[in-house]
A and B are shown apart, each in its own frame.
Chain A
Amino acid sequence: MKKMATVQVTPDQDAVVSEIEIAAPPERVFQALVEREQALQWGSNEAFEIISWEMDPRRGGRWGFVARETKPSGAYAVTEFIHHGEILEFDPPRLLVYTWFTNFHEPPSHRTVVRWELTPIANAKGTRLKVTHSGLAPLAAARRGYSQGWPGLLQRIRDHFEK
Chain B
Amino acid sequence: MRHRSVTYSPEVAFHALADPTRRAVLDLLRQGSQPAGQIASAFPVSRPAISKHLRLLRRAHLVSERREGRHRVYQLNPEPLKAVDTWLEQYRAFWRTNLAGLKTFVEAEYARESRSHKSKGTL
Q: In the complex the two chains form, is B90's CB within 8 Å of A151's CB?
A: yes
Interface 0/1 of B70-90, CB less than 8 Å to A: 000000000001001111111
Contacting residues, chain B, for A154 (C-beta < 8 A): 90, 93-94, 97
Judged by a CB distance under 8 angstroms, whether B102 is at the interface is yes
Q: In the complex the two chains form, is B11's CB within 8 Å of A38's CB?
A: no
Q: Measuring CB to CB, which residues of chain A are less than 8 angstroms from any residue of chain B?
A: 1, 4-5, 7, 9, 11-14, 16, 18-25, 28-29, 32-33, 38, 41-45, 122, 125-126, 129, 131, 133, 136-143, 146, 150-151, 154-155, 157-158, 161
Contacting residues, chain A, for B23 (C-beta < 8 A): 12
Most buried by A among B85, B89, B92: B92
- Per DSSP, are chain B's interface residues mostly helix, strand or loop, or mixed? helix
Give the distance to chain B from A50, nearest Cβ to Cβ, in Å.
Answer: 11
Give the distance to chain A from B48, nearest Cβ to Cβ, in Å.
Answer: 24
Of all chain B residues, the one with the shortest Cβ separation from A48 is B97
